[in-house]
A = this chain, B = another copy of it.
Amino acid sequence: MTTERGELRIALWQCEPRPAVPETNLDRLDAAAADAARRGADLIVTPEMVIPGYDIGAGRARELADPPDGPIARRVGVIAGRHRIAILYGCAELASDGSVYNAIRLVDAAGTATATHHKTHLFGQLDRRMFAPGSARPPVVDCAGWRLGLLTCYEVEFPELVRSLSVRGADVVCVPTANMIEYDIVQDVLVRARAVESQVFVAYANHCGSENDLVYGGRSEIVSPGGAVVASAGRSPDLVIADLSRAALDDSRRRFPYLDDRRPDLYT
């Protein structure tokens, strides 16, 4: 359901990680989705690997990895359908060939799985110890009448990926992430640049708090295609909500005609 104003109301669930307790995290997601739905959100976006936890090591990542139609997928589908809200969430996925991926999955407000993305650009040894790299381009998928592009964490730092999503029709790029506090430059500069240069909204949902030796930076944010931070969190748990306006997107694309002015013949 889109809002009456033809807008998309999006919620970012910024939370502290609870590593290796997936049932607890599913319960927490259930509560956050209920809260977001009560506040009229069409979609809630979680941090990266929110269900199993992120810094859990290769053994645990495999042990807690969910098959594409596994119990985690089914439970999140039930949560989405009960609260009538789309959910983009992060988990480890176990493929039929035995590979473990850093996955994000989109479930619509009827509880139906509509897209999965396997992180293609792995971040350092943290990712590489746990995951195989995805080999498919990030998806663009319909959600509540909008076109969503999906990326995971480090991927949004590569302009080529957001560009590719925008060229393929994305209006909003949603990014579950687990960005450490020493990389605030991502929220300050890179996420905002992606929104402007590729003329999309960007919704960046981060962890806060700590997990083993990692300290996450929070500061989840929703950025307009003009580069404005229209809603954001601080360093603490929060539910960030904003309404995305199609009219604002259209206006911005007239002001910044980057997509029309590209010259791909010069980029090879």
A-side residues, CB < 8 A to B, are 120-122, 133, 137, 154, 157-161, 163-164, 185, 188-190, 192-194, 196-197, 226-227, 258, 261-264, 266-267
Contact = CB atoms under 8 A, between A and B. Distances in A.
Contact of A267 (B160, B185, B193, B227): B160
Given A121-B261, A137-B266, A185-B226, A158 B190 contact: no
Given A120-B266, A160-B264, 19 more contacts: A120-B263, A121-B261, A122-B261, A137-B266, A154-B261, A158-B258, A158-B262, A160-B163, A160-B266, A161-B267, A163-B267, A164-B267, A185-B226, A188-B227, A189-B227, A190-B193, A190-B197, A193-B193, A193-B197
A110 to B, nearest CB: 31
A161 B264 CA distance: 10
Give the 10 A-B CB pairs with smallest separation, nearest first: A193-B193, A159-B159, A160-B267, A189-B192, A185-B227, A189-B193, A189-B227, A190-B193, A137-B266, A121-B261
A200 to B, nearest CB: 14
Contacts of A189: 189, 192-193, 196, 227
A36 to B, nearest CB: 28
Q: Which of A157, A189, A196, A227 has the most CB of B within 10 A?
A: A189
A17 B194 CA distance: 31
A168 B187 CA distance: 28
A103 to B, nearest CB: 16
Contacts of A266: 120, 137, 160-161, 164
A197 B159 contact: yes
Q: Which of A120, A133, A185 has the most CB of B within 10 A?
A: A185
Nearest to A197: B159
A164 to B, nearest CB: 6
Contacts of A158: 197, 258, 261-262
Contact of A121 (B133, B137, B193, B263): B263
Q: Which of A122, A190, A196, A263 has the most CB of B within 10 A?
A: A263
B262 A157 contact: no
Contacts of A190: 193, 196-197
17 contacts: A121-B263, A154-B261, A157-B197, A158-B261, A159-B160, A159-B163, A160-B262, A160-B264, A160-B266, A160-B267, A164-B267, A185-B227, A188-B227, A189-B192, A189-B227, A190-B197, A192-B193
A266 B165 CA distance: 11
Contacts of A258: 157-158
